[in-house]
Structure 1
Amino acid sequence: MKRISVDIGGTFTDCFFVWDERYVEAKALTTHHNLALGFNEALDLACSRAGLNRDQVLSEVDSVRYATTLGTNALIERKGPKVGAIVTHGFEDTIPLSRGRGYGEGLDPSMQQNLPAAERPEPLVPRQLIRSVKERVNSAGKVVVPLHEKDVRTMVRELVDAGAEAVVVSLTNATENPDHELRILEIILEEYPPHELGAIPVLLGHQVSGRKGEYVRATSTIVDGFLHGIMFHALSQLANNLRESGYDKPMLVIHNSGGMAQMNSTDALQTIHSGPIAGVGAAEHLSRETGIGHVISTDMGGTSFDIGLVPEGGVKHYDFQPTIDRWLVSVPMIHLLTLGAGGGSIASYDRIHKGVKLGPESAGSEPGPACYDRGGLLATVTDADLLLGYLDPDNYANGFIKLNPRRSVFAIEETLCDELDMDVIQAAKEIKRGVDEQMAIGIAKELRVRGYLPEDFTMLAYGGNGPLHACGIADQAGIKKILAPPFASVFSALGAGNMKQLHIHERGAHVVMYNATTRALYDRYDEFNTIVEQLEAKGREDLVRQGFDPAEVRHRLEMDMRYGNQLVTTAVVFDIDRIHSVGDVLNMIRTFSDIYGQRYGKGSEAPEAGIRVQTIRVASYVDGDVVKFDSLEYAGERTVPTPLSHRQVHFTGQDEPVSTPIHDAATLTHHHLIPGPAIVTTENTTYLVEPGWRLEPTPQGAVWFLRD
């Protein structure tokens, strides 16, 4: 196995390089003006560590996988083209009006409690760029009003004249009958052939989302259209960079569904949060291979703190109508809670609560925290960590970045000391305590709202800052076990290397598995099986187009199910993919009940209310080679190694600094045990063992943090 996987974050570009049985990690600062430059720097470092040159590597590797936050950043900054929309006549105001809860979508929970004071987000499609056409299809897919083609031609010309740089078409009930949307695409190409109109993208709602729901399907298509050009040019830039270096295979892009695909089979919407979701995928793989039970994955980088949930058995949680920025969309995405808390998160004084406010703004990589000495003037979490003694200013990021403590002192003094009436060290402790508390609250909430107890979970701490803050977070969240996985600082990039080529196709459906009124079981088997066959055919076509043999393609049937009129639906994965008998229906009902009981408590099942299916979904994929994880267990004797040195370190629970042992991870083996307090330095991150904790390495390089 020879492959390169890269996760480009807001601050660092992480690279995980596999060359046969050798695994190499590397990091470089993200170059936002040209992502390929940071990619090249990280890859060159990985190649030099492996004793290879980049041209040789790119000519021999089997794949290059790429995850990015570019789309997320573009939405936040509203950097995108003018998007025009074509909708069914009479639905012109659906997009700008959104829905009753639209004011609160994407807002902080505290702000959602005060919706009258919330502001509607500035629309990606202004009202003057929305046009309607005369047509109508009913909910059964029957044409009620034929498409008025002259009307379409007029509206398209108006949008182009108004300056639309992308066009989305989202018609009522197009998921049941897409003929009108497809005909509009043909008309646009007739009116403006590609050689005249240029590369203006035209996106159809039914192709972006197969589920019912006019508003969410429209917003999904609009967000996709808004990001299309940005992602196309950025990814093309990277693909051209690879070709110039001798890589002649298609570049693979990580999807937020937990899979990946070639560029020509990727929608821009599918790249949102793809980097952190690759980390959740790696956590699932690690949990399944090592049997460590319930896992809460936490990725603390320079810009954000991402939380993913992997219960025992490796079943991830999905959001099927996630909120991206301020818009509700209709795409299956692995559930992820993102907090604006990372090493680069900016610390400021909160005048209302008279304390420290952290994030969501970040110093990023340009200019970065004040201690980077690159022009940053604002205090960040990394500045606090440096002054508290956790970081070595001469050996940060493997020595590639020299930290300047005087800059950190200046930034914290200017920002916080006078307001808090504290000295620099006390203010730095407040930053450390505040960011740990913020992340612990996010973890505890994520677990408890789903019926889990924090003490039943192992916290997986990775990312550049994850192992540094893990003990402080776990103390406040009530977690007793922490695992810093192998290659913790580039764990999301490792996850990208394990992804399968996968496509998910779904269709809104009204299937009553059990009718509580008539007490009848579902019996329209052929209708159900036809839908599944159609979804499988779409997935198979996607993968065959990317060069796979149809015999290699595997399918997984999933359905969104609920009891009666419950608002909450549960995604259920089945071990059968067709219905041929009453036994198959009962098997599906039993599977749903088991999963529902596990998630919400035994006895909470309510089949007497009826059982309904809202969405039928098929995941089509091809298996591939993955990174292997060794056992995390070791029952032999452990000894305390001799530290390399000692350093004065400040901890939030103690008034005076503590002379703290400093260890080098390269000198440790699984025969060692390090009691806290202690600091262990690695090439790309720092393990902080706080008082009351101990560190136990494992054979493959993972590290346990355990409460004494």
Structure 2
Amino acid sequence: MKRIGVDVGGTFTDLYYSDDESRTGFVEKVPSTPEDPSIAVVDGLKRLVAKAGITLAEVDQVVHGTTVATNTALTHKGAEVGMITTEGFRDILHIARHKKPHNFSLQQDLPWQTHPLVKRRHRLTVNERITAPYGDVLRALDEDEVRDRVLELKAAGVEAIAVCLLHSYLNPVHEQRIGEIVREEFPEAYLSLSSDIVPLYREYERFSTTALNAYVGPRVSRYLTRLQNEIESLGYEREILLMQSSGGMVPINEAAKRPVSLMMSGPVGGLIGGLWAGEQSGFENIVTLDIGGTSADIGVAYQGELRMRHLLDTKIGDYQAMIPMVDIDTIGAGGGSIAYVDQGGVYRVGPQSAGADPGPVCYNRGGEEPTSTDAQLLLGRLRPERMLAGSGIDLRPDLSKAAMQKVADQLDMSVEEAALGALQLQKYGMTQAIEENSVRRGYDPRDFTLVAAGGAGGLFACEIASELEVPNVLVPANPGIIAALGLLATDERYEFVSTVRFPLADADCPSLQASYEELEATANAQLDTENVTPERRKLQRLADARYEGQGYEIRFDVPDGEINDAWLAEAEARFHAAHEEEYGHRFSHSAVELINIRVEATAVMTELPAVKPTTQASLEDALLETRDVTFDVSGKPATIATPFYDREKLAIGQSFEGPAIVEQYDATTVVPPGFGVTIDEAGNMVIACPANEASAEDLATPILMRVIGGALNSAAKEMASVLFRMAYSSIIRESEDLGAGLFDVDGNVLAESDSTPMFMGSMPKIVKGVISELGDNINEGDIILHNDPYLGATHSPDVAIIKPIFYQGQLVGFSGASGQLIDNGGAH
């Protein structure tokens, strides 16, 4: 099978060709064309197939990762959208949820109101009503009124229409009929029905997701149609596949209907590619650092599994998008990040970027402000005579020096110090971002391997790994196009869902069986359209459930086969186990409410082959030259004679010590002094980081303190999160009216959740009130209830639960939570 992955970044478009039979691979990079990304994609495909010696007609599959949907939403450049909704629900998108973006800000705009997906004058209502829980029609749809509303929106000049009716997830008949009328009266409008996009209950999240789909839809669908037509003109006769935010692929026609599912399409490929490379070298716990020209994407995979965000935590910028999404963070740090001195005299790098045009100053394309790439060039880490991959650009260090000199003069330092300072600032920002994604969530980075990905990942990875005490850096065979490679290392995947909402014990087994079989039939029909053979098909039943009265459900696997009493008992047992695994507790005697049923359909793809180096060259053969390179030694620039090696000539088993620079077509890797490099059996470059020397008396290292601090903060936030998710009280769910934290033996704060501001400062007083009242009469195993306003900052409706923490029989601290009476036990 011949496959091509295409990932469009802010600066470069990366392509990877894989031939499963010959086990060969080819890479290509071309400058991105932000004004029309399809131009770069088509140009790259032409170059890639020419390099591989084939035609595009011979290719079996093209998989694409795109940021068009994301950029449209983040830059607020989407379509003019109209909405048709149930009478009385016009302002759902304006009201949103009670929670504000920043709990501790007294002066803030609400972004969904400042930049609405649908302007209020374009939100129109119709007189209809579907009721819960069975989807009965209470008030029939007035079709004449619907036609008037559609024509009104057409006259207003909207490009897209979102149809969001109350309880349409239970009965879509009114939404579907409105859709038919829109197609009759306004066929050129881009149409999004909530019952098609996200047929789940919770009207705000459903409305927001559907409106977001309509907002980005016209631009995305135009781009995808243009791209498909361009590629077909080159001889490719199959549908392009698009990477989704969930880590699975869908055909281009499905993606055009549901572009909201593409929001993390680009970054996901980098994490999957890093995970694939880690598996080849035997590393299950990986952190990917995918640095391109504009941004850096950071993801964590623990024990070989992608981490997914909770459906209620999935946002794109300021907008709620209730779609499956891999957990990835993106920061504005890349090769094109601009170095400057702000008005306050502070040295900064990014998030502003020179992008692909004009690019860094050294590109000689009109850029005037120095960038990260200019700094790398000035420090000797990039050779000016080596053309930038895919661009044909000769790098001009003289231009970089002149631009950096202006910054250096403002800071009263040398050009080298200014260049090194720019990289130190970027390194610090990326280190902090990785900590946010690992340390502060309770993961110890010393148990992980850092995968250097993207064209600039290898320039920073070793120094960042040293800061975090990560033991190894993994540089894949083709790090610069790892996101394009990752697009070929996943399966084609669809998910079909239906809201049911009834107590599991009261389930009508034949009816539930029919509902699952209907979803399975839809799933198989979708796979039929893709000509997926039976041996490649995989269907999995899932469900979302909660204890009756809770506000948030959890997702879990349910059994296959006939649904009967034994099936219900097994499903309930699996839910209890999933709830305990998620929250540390189960309510075995509480009724379980089934909310959504799901069927995940997978078309299993051929395993991506690893292309191993075949060279038998010696290390001397791989040596390009030795030249001076400036490194960061104790925060100061130190210039050292450094060998440059050609990655293509580094044979399996080859090893050497830093300092060194390793060059290859799509990336450059900086190996600082003291780091050891080995080319492993998979052809990956594994760099061992030197161990930090510490005496037995000096165990409280900065990284250990950050790990402990991160674990404490993570625990406090998780306590609050558990309360939100398990809450029976809407006060806690909607306004986060709770406090949770960890405290030392005297009641001082060690870590506290950032929930309702009124609880900040009150929790330690509550704990100290317990200490003052009970004194030495605090014993292991005690659970202390407290709602006395005179022994802490609380009021009687809020009940605090304080749990003393003992270690080896000695009291070492307390955990505590306070909130509405029925809910605050979950944090413990």
**TM-score using structure 2 length:** 0.76
Distance of 1:372 and 1:331 partners within structure 2: 40
**Measured at CA, do residues 655 and 190 of structure 1 come closer, stay the same or move farther in structure 2, by a change above 3 Å?**
closer
Q: Distance in 1 between matches of 2:342 and 2:631?
A: 23
Q: Encode CA deviations 1:132-178: one digit per residue, 9 max, x unaligned.
A: 11111122112222212222122111111111111110111111111
Cα distance between partner residues in 1 of 2:571 and 2:577? 10
Alignment of 1:216-255 (within 5 A): 216-255=205-244
**Which has the higher mean CA deviation after the structures are superposed, 164-173 or 289-298?**
289-298
Are 1:622 and 2:606 matched, yes or no? no
Asked whether the 8 Å contact 2:308–2:324 carries over to 1, the reply is no
1:10 deviates by: 0.9
Deviates more, 1:302-311 or 1:526-535: 526-535
Asked if 1:432 is matched to 2:423, the reply is yes
Matched length: 674
Paired residues for 1:579-658 under 5 Å: 579-582=563-566, 585-586=569-570, 589-590=573-574, 593=577, 597=581, 604-608=584-588, 610=590, 614-629=595-610, 643-653=623-633, 654-658=636-640
Please tell me whether the aligned partners of residues 318 and 333 of structure 1 are also in contact (alpha carbons under 8 angstroms): yes
C-alpha deviation, 1:131, in angstroms:
0.3
Partner of 2:414: 423
Which residue identity lines up with residue 151 of structure 1 in the other structure?
E
Distance (Å, rounded) in 2 between the aligned partners of 1:243 and 1:80: 27
Distance 1:235 1:577, change over 3 A: farther
The one-letter amino acid of 1:223's match is L
Q: Does 1:453 align with 2:433?
A: no
Instruction: After TM superposition, give the deviation of residue 503 of structure 1 in Å.
Output: 0.9
3-state DSSP of counterpart to 2:55: helix
Question: In the alignment, which of 281, 293, 300 is matched to residue 291 of structure 2?
Answer: 300
Is the aligned partner of 1:5 residue 2:5?
yes
Closer/same/farther in 2, CA of residues 87 and 393 from structure 1, 3 Å limit: same
Change (3 A) 1:397 1:93: same
Residue in 1 aligned with 2:125? 132
Q: Distance in 1 between matches of 2:561 and 2:271?
A: 26
Which stretch has the larger CA shift, 279-288 or 169-178? 279-288
1:438-460 C-alpha deviation (Å, 9 max, x unpaired): 11111112123443211111122
Alpha-carbon distance in 1 for matches of 2:548, 2:433: 31
Contact 1:676 1:690 in 2 (8 A): yes
What CA deviation, in whole Å up to 9, does each residue of 1:465-508 have, x standing for no partner?
11111112212233222211232111111111233221112234
1:129 deviates by 0.8
User: Aligned to 2:388, what secondary structure does the other structure show?
Assistant: coil
Deviation at 1:8, TM superposition (A): 1.0
Preserved contact between residue 532 and residue 577 of structure 1 (Cα < 8 Å): no
Contact conserved, 2:580 with 2:586, CA < 8 A, in 1?
Answer: no
| Correspondence for 1:107 | none
Q: Find out whether 1:660 has 2:651 as its counterpart.
A: no
Distance 1:624 1:408, change over 3 A: same
Give secondary structure in 1 for the equivalent of 2:28.
Answer: strand
Matches within 5 A, 1:154-553: 154-192=148-186, 194=187, 199-266=188-255, 267-287=258-278, 291-321=282-312, 322-351=314-343, 355-398=346-389, 400-414=392-406, 416-510=407-501, 525-549=509-533, 552-553=536-537
Alpha-carbon distance between aligned partners in 1 of 2:593 and 2:447, rounded to the nearest angstrom = 32
Match of 1:63 among 61, 64, 74: 61
- Residues 660 and 202 of structure 1: CA distance in aligned 2, closer, same or farther (over 3 Å): same
Corresponding residue for 2:144? 150
Number of the residue aligned with 1:635: none
Structure 1 residue runs of 5 or longer lacking an equivalent are 105-110, 514-520, 633-637
Pairwise CA distance, 1:576: 4.5
User: 1:289 deviation in Å?
Assistant: 5.5
Q: Does the 8 Å contact 1:570/1:596 carry over to 2?
A: no
**1:128 offset after TM fit, Å?**
0.9
Cα distance in 1 for partners of 2:357, 2:466 equals: 32
- Max Rg structure: 2
**Structure 2 counterpart SS, 1:116:** coil
Q: Compute the displacement of 1:614 (Å).
A: 4.5
Match of 2:76 among 52, 75, 78: 78
Structure 2 residue runs of 5 or longer lacking an equivalent are 691-828
Q: CA deviation at 1:582?
A: 4.1
Counterpart CA distance in 2 for 1:562 and 1:481 is 41
Is contact 2:289–2:298 with CA below 8 Å preserved after alignment? yes
The Cα offsets for residues 396-424 of structure 1, whole Å up to 9 and x where unpaired, read as 4347221112222233333x324433222
**For the residues of structure 1 that align with 2:651 and 2:502, how far apart are their CA atoms?**
56
Partner deviation per Cα, 1:251-280 (whole Å, 9 max, x = no partner): 222222212122222221122221211222
Q: CA distance change for structure 1 residues 380 and 61 in 2, over 3 Å: closer, same or farther?
A: same
SS at match of 1:207: helix
Q: Deviations over 1:639-698 (max 9, x none)?
A: 898743222222223433122221111221122212122111111100111233211112
Query: How far apart in 2 are the matches of 1:614 and 1:473?
Result: 44
What is the alpha-carbon distance in structure 1 between the residues aligned to residue 295 and residue 607 of structure 2? 27
- Distance, in Å, in 1 between the alignment partners of 2:462 and 2:183 is 58
Question: How far, CA to CA, are the matches of 1:390 and 1:355 in structure 2?
Answer: 26
Q: Distance in 1 between matches of 2:653 and 2:556?
A: 43
Match of 1:37 among 35, 39, 61: 39
What code does the residue aligned with 2:27 have? E
Separation in 2, partners of 1:481, 1:560: 39
What is the deviation of 1:585?
Answer: 3.7
Would the aligned equivalents of 1:343 and 1:381 in 2 still touch at CA under 8 Å?
yes
Separation in 1, partners of 2:137, 2:669: 63
TM-score for the superposition, normalised by structure 1: 0.88
Write the letter of the residue equivalent to 1:337: D
- Matched residue SS, 1:117: coil
Q: Whole-Å Cα distance in 1 between the matches of residues 489 and 626 of structure 2? A: 39
CA gap of 1:13–1:573, structure 2 versus 1, over 3 A, is: farther
Change over 3 Å in CA distance of 1:556–1:48 after alignment to 2: same
Moved more, 276-285 or 421-430: 276-285
CA contact (8 A) 1:441 1:477 kept: no
* Cα distance in 2, alignment partners of residues 475 and 15 from structure 1: 31
**Higher-RCO chain (CA-CA 8 Å, sequence separation at least 6):** 1
1:8-55 alpha-carbon deviations (Å, 9 max, x no partner): 1111110101234211111110122333332233233323433x1xxx
Find the residue that maps to 2:305 and give its secondary structure.
coil
Structure 2 partner of 1:92? 90
Matching residue of 2:776: none
Distance 1:400 1:541, change over 3 A: same
Between 607-616 and 491-500, report the one with greater CA deviation: 607-616
Find the aligned partners of 2:687 and 2:417 in 1 and give their Cα distance.
Answer: 26
Which is further off, 17-26 or 544-553?
544-553
User: Which digits, 9 at most, give the CA deviation of each residue in 1:557-606, with x for residues without a partner?
Assistant: 33445678777765434574765444764476458637964x77xxx333
Cα distance in 2 for residues equivalent to 1:682 and 1:463:
12
- 1:15 aligned to 2:15? yes
